[in-house]
DNA sequence: TCCTTTATGCTCAGCTTGAGTATAAAGAGC
DNA sequence: GCTCTTTATACTCAAGCTGAGCATAAAGGA
């Protein structure tokens, strides 16, 4: 009767150590290796994957509890801050497994953990997330990969479109999304950038998915507006298993948005910190450098932190005062709803 | 082996007509009627429900396409703007159906449609969403239900807590969430408000769920910190089936947030409109009155609209110019990322 | 013509933001 | 000790945005 269904629970578990944002990955056998003419990850037989576990429909009372449960089992990490991200349900998300049978719907979560911790069972490791998205780190300089590879490749892709109107739309999209030709870089558009590269065929996942899909359904023709130049398609960024890089891009974009209006960064910091440490973590997430004095002004005036009176002598220069997060703001935050033009409080209009 | 799983697709379909925000509901037989001593909706044998359809794991290539498909079938509405909201997966979301068997995970979507439209099959109707959340409409005045019913009821609930510390925390939460005792009203906290009322036992769904749950699992004791005074528990707002009011609250909160930073309101308006019409729609969604001149300044300076040169003579006073949405802003929006203190564009820090 | 109603333009003070300048406090080298 | 380097932190200033209101314009009706 009904096709069997599996609910997968994926976690993008984020930590920041030494100014490097990291994501917890596990090794997953590369099923595509069995096929001929297949792109293979550098490591050979394994691909990076986000920690994954199926929902136990009988035992897990809640999706989130299910997630916490097997993350604990699998990595020894007790998750703190957890937030549901998105539910991925496209068919052929997972063209490899379950070929005959079950369809996998994945509910993805974002989790923030405080510092890197040791973990137990599975073959897990922390990886710099900019390894997967080298074009996202603008802290030191505009990433060279953009001008060296992305822009030319995408230009080719745009040029390959037959209709002039299509070409214009594609060009516009490329410019907006990657901040080219005068458009500003918007650090939140992580997912849009990844999806554009995927569509254009410049990430390894695209080629892999196409190959697997045609193998599974030999009759199906997929028509993408402009098709990538088949000559030397670059493979940008480190690939992941299945659609996990898409999930990670979603997580990254969401997190970059969220730190701007909710005090979630503190989940990543130890209980006391200097303002520069705080700033560095925000910068690591946002992939952008910030103005120090203004940052400190904002944070202090926002009542987000309070002084401890203690100092960190390890700064190299004048010792920095240690601060702690003021949990009270969670309750105070009276008007996080900035944005409505002139919300009338007095109701006498 | 595995408990059977069903993926449900729920849609909160929103339209605004004559300054009333409406939600598309269908009638659903009230399964709890079969039980003794049950709270019943005013209509008797039926409860309002959000349109719902199961995912066809074999046929639907995408969750969103599945949703669009059966919304078309069921109501004749062709959805335009659709956005995934949240995935609800708690066990006992649906204590009525599937008692022996399947667990239902619901992926909820928010959809915006342009004006009210006619529809085809099922018994569907548009309802003022403030019927479900009478405390959310602050346009004319602070809703009287807050001081008349909510505040006293919640005060009782707080007082019922045994621990002083618990009492303090609950009081704080009540104040923040409902804007009492000096806290400001935050129109985005729709879900928090509903959940607080649910926890405290002042919405009909709580009593119903509790009854059904204890009936299904007679042994289970649920312990909520303070339990509601069993005397005369009010039933605030019109109830819905299952957890649909929770889903609706999620939709409302999300929409109220989104209109502030993405031009989605225009999905609800016809192609040309006066600025006051635009403002009224925003106000209907936000549940708050806005300052007219400042609203128009913001909208115009933001480049969101352009004049048509035509005028609407139906205003009652001086005719208002008709505007249209400038689709280009979708491409322009160069820096929607307001919020990072001093993002350094020049990268020379 | 006057009044009412809505539309629209303009002002003004207070606050926030972006970008600096200036000063303080530590350690290292002499 | 003094000087240099390094980082921390305080303070300034102009530009722009926000909240609130005043003023004028253009219609219809008494």
Model pLDDT, residue B341: 45
Q: Is residue A232 part of a domain?
A: yes
Domains in chain A, number: 3
Do the Cβ atoms of B323 and B274 come closer than 8 Å? yes
- Domain ends where: B216, B233, B250? B233
pLDDT tens series, chain A, 349 aa: 557 888 999 999 999 998 999 999 988 777 665 544 444 445 557 889 999 889 988 888 899 999 999 888 878 888 999 999 999 998 877 665 545 568 889 999 999 998 666 666 667 888 999 999 999 999 988 999 999 999 999 999 999 999 999 999 999 899 989 988 878 888 999 999 999 999 999 999 888 877 776 665 554 444 444 444 455 677 899 999 889 999 999 999 999 988 888 888 999 999 999 999 999 999 999 999 899 999 998 888 888 899 999 998 787 888 999 999 988 776 654 433 333 444 444 333 2
Residue B42 dihedral angles phi and psi, to the nearest 5°: -55, -35
Do the Cβ atoms of A306 and A290 come closer than 8 Å? no
Is B243 found in the same domain as B121? yes
Report the protein residue whose CA lies nearest the C1' of nucleotide C25: A318
Residues whose CB falls within 8 Å of the CB of residue A317, separated by 6 or more in sequence, listed in order = none
Model pLDDT, residue A124: 81
Is A247 found in the same domain as A230? no
Is A163 found in the same domain as A233? yes
Q: How far is the CA of A280 from the C1' of C26 (A)?
A: 21
Structure tokens at A158: 């745009």
Do the Cβ atoms of A101 and A216 come closer than 8 Å? no
CA neighbor of B214 nearest in space, from B206, B204, B222: B222
Q: Is residue B337 part of a domain?
A: no
In terms of residue numbers, what domain contains A326? 269-331
CA neighbor of A183 nearest in space, from B302, B285, B336, B171: B336
Report the protein residue whose CA lies nearest the C1' of nucleotide C10: B293
In this predicted model, which residue has the larger pLDDT, B3 or A141? A141
Structure tokens at A96: 């490899």
Interface test with B, best of A1, A8, A57 (most B CBs within 10 A): A57
Q: Is residue A29 part of a domain?
A: yes
Residues whose CB falls within 8 Å of the CB of residue B194, separated by 6 or more in sequence, listed in order = B133, B203, B245, B246, B249
Q: Is residue A61 part of a domain?
A: yes
Q: Is residue B341 part of a domain?
A: no
CB atoms under 10 Å from CB of A240, counted, come to 24
Is A184 found in the same domain as A64? no
Interface test with A, best of B344, B346, B348 (most A CBs within 10 A): B344
Q: How far is the CA of A287 from the C1' of D3 (A)?
A: 37
Is A279 found in the same domain as A249? no
Is B268 found in the same domain as B248? no
Is B227 found in the same domain as B279? no
Is B93 found in the same domain as B39? yes
Is A248 found in the same domain as A292? no
- Write the DSSP symbol of residue A168: H
Do the Cβ atoms of B291 and B37 come closer than 8 Å? no
pLDDT digits (tens, 9 = 90+) for B185-204: 889 999 999 999 999 999 99
CATH of residue A125: 3.90.79.10
Nearest-angstrom CA–CA distance, B32 and A64:
28
Segment among A268-282, A303-317, B220-234, B260-274 with least mean pLDDT: B220-234
Nearest-angstrom CA–CA distance, A178 and A143:
11
Residue B63 dihedral angles phi and psi, to the nearest 5°: -60, -45
Place of tokens 């899909």: A213
Is strand D less than 7 A from the beta carbon of B313?
yes
Nearest-angstrom CA–CA distance, B284 and B278:
10
Burial of A251 (0-12, 13-18, 19+ CB in 10 A): buried
Q: Is residue B347 part of a domain?
A: no
Q: Is residue B93 part of a domain?
A: yes
CATH of residue B271: 1.10.10.10
Do the Cβ atoms of A66 and A55 come closer than 8 Å? yes
Q: Is residue B339 part of a domain?
A: no
pLDDT digits (tens, 9 = 90+) for B162-192: 999 999 999 989 998 998 887 888 899 999 9
Is B200 found in the same domain as B182? yes
Nearest-angstrom CA–CA distance, B95 and A311:
55
Is A151 found in the same domain as A124? no
Structure tokens at A278: 């705080």
Is A8 found in the same domain as A127? yes
- Please answer yes or no on whether B84 and A87 come within 8 Å at the CB atom: yes
């Amino acid at each position: 009767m009904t096709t069997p269904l599996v609910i997968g629970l994926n976690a993008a578990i984020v930590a920041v150590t030494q100014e490097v944002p990291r994501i917890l990955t596990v090794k997953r056998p590369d099923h595509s290796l069995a096929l001929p003419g297949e792109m293979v990850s550098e490591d050979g037989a394994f691909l990076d994957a986000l920690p994954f576990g199926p929902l136990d429909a009988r035992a897990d009372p809640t999706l989130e509890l299910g997630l916490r449960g097997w993350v604990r089992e699998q990595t020894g990490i007790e998750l703190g801050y957890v937030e549901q991200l998105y539910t991925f349900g496209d068919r052929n998300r997972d063209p490899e497994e379950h070929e005959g049978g079950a369809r996998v719907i994945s509910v993805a979560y974002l989790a923030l953990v405080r510092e890197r911790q040791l973990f137990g069972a599975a073959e897990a490791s922390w990886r710099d997330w900019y390894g997967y998205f080298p074009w996202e780190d603008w802290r030191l300089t505009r990433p060279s990969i953009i001008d060296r590879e992305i822009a030319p490749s995408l230009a080719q892709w745009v040029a390959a479109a037959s209709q002039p109107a299509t070409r214009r739309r594609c060009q516009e999209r490329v410019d907006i999304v990657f901040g080219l030709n005068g458009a500003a870089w918007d650090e939140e558009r992580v997912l849009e950038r990844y999806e554009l590269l995927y569509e254009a065929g410049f990430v390894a996942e695209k080629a892999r998915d196409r190959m697997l899909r045609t193998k599974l359904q030999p009759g199906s023709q997929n028509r993408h507006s402009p098709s990538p130049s088949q000559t030397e398609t670059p493979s940008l960024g480190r690939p992941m298993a299945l659609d996990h890089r898409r999930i990670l891009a979603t997580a990254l974009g969401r997190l970059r948005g969220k730190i701007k209006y909710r005090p979630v960064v503190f989940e990543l910091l130890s209980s006391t910190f200097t303002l520069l440490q705080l700033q560095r973590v925000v910068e690591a997430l946002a992939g952008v450098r910030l103005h120090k004095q203004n940052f400190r002004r904002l944070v202090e005036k926002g009542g987000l932190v309070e002084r401890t009176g203690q100092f960190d002598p390890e700064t190299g220069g004048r010792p920095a005062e240690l601060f702690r997060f003021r949990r009270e703001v969670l309750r105070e935050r009276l008007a996080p709803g900035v944005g409505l033009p002139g919300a009338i409080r007095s109701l006498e209009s």
